[in-house]
A and B are shown apart, each in its own frame.
Chain A
């Protein structure tokens, strides 16, 4: 990244030329270091009163941060599929939220009938992959190169899907039960308060949410490895950069598209089961996660897995911290982040400019 960027920087604009002190990158490095140090201090220190005055209690702050992190994990799972599909096919799949919701319902049904939660997760992933494959082969291949019509079609599909899901699963709220070995809370080695008798209170947090976070990280690394270290990943990246050239050099582009669409849809379905277990499943969730995916990829940059991770982290944290500190304006915070990103860097944080 840095090597690729270096030649683009005009010599005059860089304040980091020798002799002028520290470079711009060093300033940013120091800034991030200071921020990280502040955060670590906030996590481990015994809070003095003036900090408590600003940030309420340490427990509220840390819970908000952890909730933000797990939500970011969930958002990443949903948005990574969305961003992959967009990056490769220039196809804005506005039915992505519907895929999430369908995955959640299917996962619920499988887990409920068989009693195995893991089977639900796997089943939702596989079934949604097939659904995504069908969408690509039956619908999008016919409208290739027509962005607007593809997008309109996905809107139509999302309307029909939402209505049919309402017909089958009605308007109720479902909760996917997680197995015992994932349930319960664990104590984290973080002190939230010291009692007057000297005993310390540790922060306890639902174990499952930490699993969600870990899963998101594992899948994120897996995706990154697939994209950067395998042959298929190389083809996908080549396709993102120049679809025509990839096709001309003898690769079956449609096969690659189908694979990417299947992975993207499958990830949405998987996220549905995870989200339905950690939170709940109800009509309207499709819109919520579509919005999350949209904002995450707009902020993070289209077609970039790293961007999706950064975007998910920012949006997830902003949403949860906003929920604690200014409840009715939480959504505005998300919106402001999006606008600021667009104003400063229209292509998103990790996006490539066209």
Chain B
């Protein structure tokens, strides 16, 4: 990240290709070609799932990395979108389910998610710093208990089942390959949006507010409005991930948005690193791979201990997550290189 920032002013963007950068092209090519080499299981359970959770963590990292507001309620906003899909779209739980078409339900879901995020954001920006974690954790927990107790709207404990991805122009998005590409497109859009927003006037203002809210307020910026808008964008991304998540699972229940899930999103974001929007996706891939394969090593029961220890290790030894480790490694290699040349 730092290297990028330092380089940017020096090399004026000659054209679009140069601005996007070689790394992104390689990554895009790899991701696009991934379905050619992978089985259905790897395509959806690893690929699609990582992309979805990467987006959830990205929405957290947008708030935490650029706005300095660590939110634990992102999964709740995804849940708002998910339940909107279940209530306004089709489900086979025989409760509600208005059967609206996907092109109407999806924007509605995103709108609800973003609005609820902005509302919670508006409440939580009345305080600063560490309070945000507490308030959003309280919100996430309350949301979980509420949907579990409420049967008239959220169908309580069982939630909704039979939520299917739509068939559009003959393409069935329930199939692994179309579903993977749908996730990839959504993730790419979110990633590019965050990357773009971070360098826009809004993003720079937000980062300045993170670093010194008092000074920004004194200069005349509306600190609260900027923060609330950041929450709105984060809710948009979380909502998109939420819609994909219910299509992936085919169902939504209180278990989808419980406290463990809320903390999972934070773990992914922290493991990956909050400094750059690619971090959440790396973290998601790591955690999903661990979830899938560590079970063979430690058994399904003690998985949480494993991930907890891994998380603690990251927090203690590399505050910037895996991205930070990579940065440290690169620095060390560069020094070795210099030493060997002398």
Contact = CB atoms under 8 A, between A and B. Distances in A.
Nearest to B148: A331
Nearest to B138: A294
A329 interface: yes
Query: A interface, by DSSP: helix, strand, loop or mixed?
Result: helix
16 contacts: A148-B70, A151-B130, A152-B270, A156-B308, A157-B312, A159-B260, A160-B308, A166-B301, A290-B141, A291-B145, A294-B138, A328-B149, A328-B152, A331-B146, A338-B138, A342-B126
Interface string A143-182: 0000111011101110110111011000000000000000
B149 A331 contact: yes
B302 A163 contact: yes
Nearest to A335: B142
Interface in A324-354: 327-332, 334-335, 338-339, 342-343, 346-347
A342 B311 contact: no
A329 B149 CA distance: 8
A335 B150 CA distance: 15
Query: B interface, by DSSP: helix, strand, loop or mixed?
Result: helix
Nearest to A156: B312
Given A294-B137, A335-B138, A153 B130 contact: no
Nearest to B309: A160
B315 interface: yes
B130 A147 contact: yes
A164 B305 contact: yes
A94 interface: yes
Contacts of B60: none
Contacts, number: 108
Contact of A343 (B126, B139, B303): B126
A291 B141 contact: yes
B134 A163 contact: no
B316 interface: yes
Interface string B167-194: 0000000000000000000000000000
Interface string B279-305: 000000000000000000000011111
B137 A335 contact: no
Contacts of B138: 291, 294-295, 298, 335, 338
B63 to A, nearest CB: 13
A287 interface: yes
A297 B138 CA distance: 11
Contact of A149 (B149, B301, B307, B319): B319
A309 interface: no
A25 to B, nearest CB: 25
B263 interface: yes
Interface-central residue, B133, B142, B266, by most chain A CB under 10 Å: B142
B315 A149 contact: yes
Given A159-B307, A335-B139, A342 B129 contact: no
B333 interface: no
B315 A163 contact: no
A291 B270 CA distance: 22
B209 interface: no
Range class of the A interface residue count: 35 or more
Contact of A90 (B130, B152, B302, B305): B130
Nearest to B127: A346
B259 interface: yes
Interface string B53-72: 00000000000000000100
Contacts of B131: 298
A163 B130 contact: no
Contact of A332 (B133, B142, B152): B142
Contacts of B304: 159-160, 162-163
Contacts of A164: 305
B308 A159 contact: yes
* Nearest 3 pairs of A and B residues by beta carbon: A160-B308, A163-B304, A159-B308
A172 to B, nearest CB: 15
B80 interface: no
B305 A163 contact: yes
B311 A330 contact: no
Contacts of A291: 137-138, 141-142, 145
A92 interface: yes
Contacts of B126: 342-343, 346
Interface in B79-120: none
Given A159-B263, A166-B301, 5 more contacts: A152-B270, A153-B316, A297-B134, A331-B146, A342-B135
A264 to B, nearest CB: 16
Contacts of B196: none
A328 B319 contact: no
Contacts of A149: 315, 319
A163 B311 CA distance: 14
Contacts of B259: 287
Contacts of A167: 301-302, 305
